[in-house]
Amino acid sequence: MRKAKFGTIIVAFLELCACMSPSVAYEQKLQTWIGKSAEQLYDSWGTPAQTTPIDNNTIMVTYNQVTNSPIDGDFEPYADELNYEALSTPSYGIMASSPLYYCSTSFVLKNDVVTDFNFSGDDCL
CATH number of domain containing 103: 3.30.1450
* CA separation for the pair 65, 118 (Å, rounded): 14
If one counts the domains in the chain, the total is 1
Let me know if 114 is exposed, middle or buried by CB neighbors in 10 A (0-12, 13-18, 19+): buried
Evaluate if residue 115 carries a pLDDT over 70. yes
Q: What is the pTM of this model?
A: 0.64
Residue 62 lies in a domain: yes
Residue 8 lies in a domain: no
The predicted-structure confidence for 25-55, as pLDDT tens digits, reads as follows 899 999 999 999 999 999 999 999 999 999 9
Which amino acid is it at 71?
I
pLDDT at residue number 93: 61
Instruction: Give the residue numbers spanning the domain of 53.
Output: 23-75+96-125
Residue 17 lies in a domain: no
* CA separation for the pair 107, 80 (Å, rounded): 30
Residue 119 lies in a domain: yes
